Amino acid sequence: MTTAGAAPAVALVGIHGHGGAHLRRIRDLEARGVVRLSALVDPRPLETDEVPATGGPGGPRHGSAAAGDGAPWFPTLGDLLSAPEPEVRPDIVVLSTPIPTHVPLASAAMRAGLDVLLEKPTAASLAEHTALVAVAEETGRLCQVGFQTFGSHALTAVDRLIADGEIGDVTGVGAVGLWVRTTAYWARAPWAGKRQLDGRDVVDGVVTNPLAHAVATGLRIAGATRSADVAGVDVDLYRANPIEADDTSSVRVTTADGMRCGFGLTLCAPERTPARILIHGTRGRIELAYETDRVRLVTDSVDLEKQYSRDDLLENLVAARSTPGRPLACDVRDTGAFMRVMEAVRTAPDPRSIDPAHVDWAGEGDERHPVVRDVAAWCEEVAAQGRTFAELGAPWTHA
């Protein structure tokens, strides 16, 4: 554990794939004196350009900056927590691990007295989310969830524009996500594209993983963060890839105060374009390109666009640790509304396969990917009208 006044010690659990981005960010914060990397945890140590050295706590150490720059490696979180060396004991764990492991690992960390930054999605089911919130309340530990957009100052700007009546009364919130995922993406891990694996829920589809930020951010803007803020969820799930989960879906969420949110999302677009949140009003609209924190205000008299910055979620967690009462940017409790959508996807019938007559294939080998015809236009309609693909009559929804 870290002594008073020193930078908190951070352990990264899950060091491959997206874990590499977390490692780079931890090292950036370490260079500024915000945190100290105390350990790397993964069944498989880093392998690229490493110079292993024997000895030291937990097994091999890795010498290059890309490989952790000397941070001790442990195969499991349990191995780390049971290590006798005080210098490897973290104050915070960053969890970048498969979805089914989120709740058991985060719970174990909090019960060990640690604070947590947990990759999204929070959990694989609403029941798991409820259990995780209970652990956070029982232990009093902080649990931040990795919806990076919740740290964006653009959200504050959007809230202000709405409160100031710049677009009149808000009539609906939507999101359009037009992304591309290749064959290599679905082959990257055993759980990729699965609804279940080894009898456990995974729920790895477009709504709940790649474009989960679109859903969570849209709900946040609509005033829905907790589970009770959602009155109903309708999901309409399809797949063009040979996977279990959905890759082209529409979702309608009705909030507790009657706001309707429509999400048109696909991983089968002709090309990847920035995902957008759309806030419709009686006198105009607001567009949030949440990946780049850009806000555009469009009315009869104004068309303005502005760039905003965002707070890093790990840095925000560190600040909350040192300032009692300071809220987290994305507290685990504030992902309850998103988990209502996750639960609706989890319990829905398996996604329907899109007839090949409506699908073209592009690319070769690992870069091969399906393109659902006219999918961009249909996703725009979902976001504009708050209706599902089936309700709108998209051709691939016909039996």
Reported as a single tens digit per residue, the pLDDT across 216-232 is 999 999 999 999 999 99
pLDDT of residue 53: 34
pLDDT tens for 297-340 read 999 999 999 999 999 999 999 999 999 889 999 999 999 999 99
11-31 mean pLDDT: 95
> Any bridge partners for residue 72, and if so which?
61
Do 314 and 200 form a contact (C-beta atoms < 8 A)? no
How far apart are alpha carbons 380 and 80 in whole angstroms?
A: 47
> Any bridge partners for residue 397, and if so which?
none
Q: What average pLDDT does the chain have?
A: 93
pTM of the model: 0.91
Q: What is the CA radius of gyration of the chain?
A: 22
How far apart are alpha carbons 31 and 255 in whole angstroms?
A: 43
